[in-house]
Amino acid sequence: MKLFVATHNAHKLREISEILPEAEVVGDNPSGIEENAPDFAGNALIKVRAIAARHPGEWCMADDSGLEVAALGGAPGVHSARYAGEPTDYAANNALLLKNLAGKTDRTANFTCAVALVAPDGREKVFTGKVFGTIRHELKGQGGFGYDPLFVPEGYDKSFAELPAGAKNAISHRGRALGQVKEFIHAGIA
Ligand code: IMP
């Protein structure tokens, strides 16, 4: 089966292919839209509807995700990609996060991922996955992307960027949301 995914982020496409190896994942950038919803689910729906209009009768998917830090009132949240401004700069985002957390004792955080799916018959579904952890005081690891070098998942002493891709996918917000997508797709095509 083909699965059109509304992203231009090569890291995300690779993670999605790893988690859903049975799908032929095709990236389709939903250009010219505004991701202005107040939550991840709303933004994922905006993105998936934009590409579903171009691929009627096909499986289409979009994810919207970000980091929510307790001591920062849930920031960067839906602004995770552009926390330090446009264009997205992972190093600047991580530097700003560390600056804003300086002196805070509560370093708990979670990643959230909402995946919106449009089935070939037009049905819409949203699945949400979360992973909880803490924010390190300095960057560590070379893998992953975004805030991965700063995020240590609960029960681990390594950052997401230090874990092998398979280990991250098994517990990540995106992995958990996509696990539900996988079940839904299988039920739909069985
Ligand atoms: P989106 O592309 O609008 O979903 O923005 C997601 C942003 O949240 C990314 O640019 C990253 O900064 C951050 N993010 C989401 N998922 C992850 C992850 O798995 N690791 C690290 N950062 C992530």
- Under the phi-then-psi rule, with left for phi > 0, alpha for psi from -120 to 50, and beta for the rest, what region is 62? beta
The pLDDT > 90 percentage for the chain reads 82
> What global pTM score does this model have?
0.92
Residues with CB under 6 A from ligand 1: 9, 63-67, 80-81, 88, 93, 111, 144-148, 160, 172, 174
Atom of ligand 1 nearest to the CA of 148: 21
Residues designated catalytic: 64
Rounded CA separation 7/76 (Å): 20
181 CA distance to ligand 1 middle (Å) = 19
Q: Which residues pair with 151 in a beta bridge?
A: 135
Rounded CA separation 99/117 (Å): 36
**Of 68, 147, 160, 174, best ligand 1 pocket probe by most atoms within 8 Å of the beta carbon:** 147
Q: Which of the 8 DSSP states describes residue 88?
A: P
Q: What is the pLDDT, as a whole number, of residue 188?
A: 67
CATH of region 2-189, choose from 3.10.20.600, 3.40.1010.10, 3.90.950.10, 3.40.190.10: 3.90.950.10
- pLDDT tens digits for range 10-55: 888 988 898 889 899 999 988 889 999 999 999 999 999 999 999 9
pLDDT higher than threshold 80 for residue 159: yes
